[in-house]
Chain A
């Protein structure tokens, strides 16, 4: 068990890096997912086709393949993902500004992949609003924007919060893949490093790494269960 204490800073560092990936990827995925959701429910057929195509492609592809695409495709497109070196943010999330692009590539892959699921969560929320609600709003003379703001979105938000949460939990778990794609020092890379190259005993390291992930996923899952139960009662 000594490794847990001796290498506590390594575990803590790995946890912090994984948390950074998760926070950044969650923000990115929510934004991109919202954009794709807007495309998917827009009245213009080509935009809808783009949204649908995006979701079908990324939802049915393993994240591993997306990661490989980010690692090989982006350099071929002539980009080192330098646009992610955002001045103020990269002083907090230091890995965004490093010369090695793997952190940014992993982040992009995670965002692209998760956005498809975020889009579906948002869209299923909008579709869960009974059609009569929007019809009633229209017949009252509300404009499209008012309709969205006062009638549809408040209701769809309730229906999509739980699916969104489970998407985020899945994303936290998927972020473990980054460690196997050249992102040095996150929790999964730490597991590999400590049990492989540094030859520590397996069980203590496994416990430490597991705790790191469970701290992030279990409370979030419990919170979601609570919200779900409360909603079930309210309904």
Chain B
């Protein structure tokens, strides 16, 4: 929080600084009193701060300490595995989908002249159909909640005699949703590039596929890197949905621990702290990358910098700000 905190205030003078200091003290005291009476006291009255409940989580000499943390460690490992698999799979599928959609779009403009008329019509029809199908798929899977997608995968696959480990249901469910989102991120990145890039590539004789692969995609990845990292945060958070299909991730393990020790609030505080620590560092990384990128080249002026509406807005920090600057 430097001088640039807000456009709303001038740099404060001595009088304003004094007022700020006084109101800070008042606000701080009021907040502390409020927190004490509204949160600390009721919890303390119910004995939520007793060592009996916290002990297994924070006291190394407690008999359950090592066991509890071993379980939490296992759960967190499972969460990370699911998240890593899902993000890698979504990146691969998402990239392919983005390339496919770009290719289909350029195909839709082609007239296939020089071929027999029926064949040309057939090819045009086919490419239009394919592009419509991918469009519908994207809209549908983007519009469905991830929970529902995961649930459908876990319920639907066994119905057709395909059954996996619950890990794979979770990964497939997450991949379906996130690959579509990533495809949209990359596609809007590629479409936001200056038209000259594709024209120059065509001028030196690259085929459309080569243009996408060698010219557009690398740049789109670069510009969209912050948005992609933010998507990683989303994936990590969404792995917690694995509990509805009873995959043994952090929350599920937490539930088991609560079943034995009966200390829900304490366990969830610890789990929340774990998630916040990891995701906060990831968001900071995304911001850092964004800053480096916009400093490195003048990509900040590209309209593509504006994050696509789909990618939640965990990247609201840069996305809305940089794009909306209108400079």
Q: Counting CB contacts under 8 A, is B208 at the interface?
A: no
A60 & B279 in contact (Cβ 8 Å cutoff): yes
Closest-by-CB residue of B relative to A66 is B272
Chain B residues in 8 Å Cβ range of A214: 139-140, 143-144
Q: Which listed segment binds A: B1-9, B98-106, B193-201, B287-295?
A: B1-9
Shortest Cβ gap from B269 to chain A (Å): 8
A124-B319, A134-B8, A202-B155 are known contacts. Are A177 and B265 too (CB-CB below 8 A)?
A: no
Residues of B within 8 A of A41 (CB): 5-6, 8
In the complex, chain A residues 75-131 whose Cβ is within 8 Å of any chain B Cβ: 76-78, 117, 120-121, 123-131
Chain A contacts with B in 194-235, Cβ cutoff 8 A: 195-196, 202-203, 206, 209-210, 213-214, 217-218, 221, 224-225, 228, 232, 235
Tell me which of A125, A176, A196 has the highest count of chain B C-beta atoms within 10 A of its own C-beta. A176
B302 part of interface (Cβ distance < 8 Å): no
Q: Which residue of B lies closest to A144 (CB)?
A: B8
**Least Cβ distance of A106 to chain B in Å?**
13
With both beta carbons as reference points, the residue of chain B lying nearest to A129 in the complex is identified as B7
Report B143 CB to chain A, min CB distance, Å.
Answer: 4
- B20, A43: Cβ atoms closer than 8 Å: yes
* Interface status of A180 (Cβ within 8 A of chain B): yes
Q: Which residue of A76, A191, A195 is within 8 Å of B43 (Cβ)?
A: A76
The count of A-to-B residue pairs whose CB atoms sit within 8 angstroms is 210
- B24 sits at the interface (CB 8 A): yes
Are A47 and B144 within 8 A (Cβ)?
no
Cross-chain contact A64 with B241 (CB below 8 angstroms): yes
* B148 partner residues in chain A, CB cutoff 8 A: 176, 187-188, 191, 209-210, 213
Instruction: Report yes or no: B310 in contact with A166, Cβ–Cβ below 8 A.
Output: yes
* B125 interface contact, C-beta 8 A: no
CA–CA, A167 to B309, complex, Å?
A: 9
Docked complex Cα distance between A112 and B184 (Å):
28
Cβ-based interface call for A147 (8 A)? yes
CA distance A175 to B38 in the complex (A): 28
The interface residues of chain B lying within 8 Å CB-to-CB of A187 are: 148
A133 to B8, CA, bound (A): 9
| Residue A62 CB within 8 A of the other chain | yes
**Residues of chain B contacted by A224 (CB below 8 angstroms):** 309
Does the CB pair A152–B321 fall under 8 Å? no
B314 beta carbon closer than 8 Å to chain A = yes
Interface size on B, residues (CB 8 A): 69
- Cβ of A69 under 8 Å from chain B: yes
Least Cβ–Cβ distance between B2 and chain A, in angstroms: 13
Q: A77-B43, A210-B140 are in contact. Are A121 and B155 (CB under 8 A)?
A: no
Main secondary structure of the interface of A (DSSP, over half): helix
B133 at the interface (CB under 8 A from A): no
By the criterion of a CB under 8 Å from any partner CB, how many residues of chain A are at the interface? 81
In the assembled complex, the Cα of A169 lies from the Cα of B143 at a distance in Å of 8
Instruction: Report chain B residues within 8 Å CB of A134.
Output: 7-8
From B276, which residue of chain A is reached at the shortest CB distance? Answer: A60
Cα separation A111 to B196 with both chains bound (whole Å): 45
Q: How far is the CB of A212 from chain B (nearest CB, A)?
A: 10
Interface CB pairs A-B, < 8 A, 21: A43-B5, A43-B6, A43-B20, A57-B276, A60-B278, A65-B275, A69-B272, A117-B314, A124-B320, A129-B7, A134-B7, A134-B8, A148-B8, A162-B309, A163-B309, A163-B320, A203-B156, A217-B142, A217-B143, A221-B309, A235-B326
Task: Give residues in B with beta carbon < 8 Å to A.
Answer: 1, 5-10, 12, 20, 23-24, 27-28, 31, 38-39, 42-43, 46, 48, 139-140, 142-148, 151-152, 155-156, 159, 233, 237-238, 240-241, 243-244, 251, 264-265, 268, 271-272, 275-276, 278-280, 283, 303, 309-314, 316-317, 319-321, 324-327
Given contacts A78-B46, A228-B309, 17 further A-B pairs with CB under 8 A are: A57-B272, A59-B279, A60-B280, A62-B240, A62-B241, A68-B268, A69-B265, A124-B316, A126-B8, A128-B321, A163-B320, A166-B311, A173-B143, A188-B151, A209-B148, A210-B148, A221-B139
**Chain A contact residues, CB within 8 Å of chain B:** 41, 43-48, 50, 56-57, 59-65, 68-69, 72-73, 76-78, 117, 120-121, 123-131, 133-135, 138, 144, 147-148, 152, 159-160, 162-163, 165-167, 169-170, 172-177, 180, 187-188, 191-192, 195-196, 202-203, 206, 209-210, 213-214, 217-218, 221, 224-225, 228, 232, 235
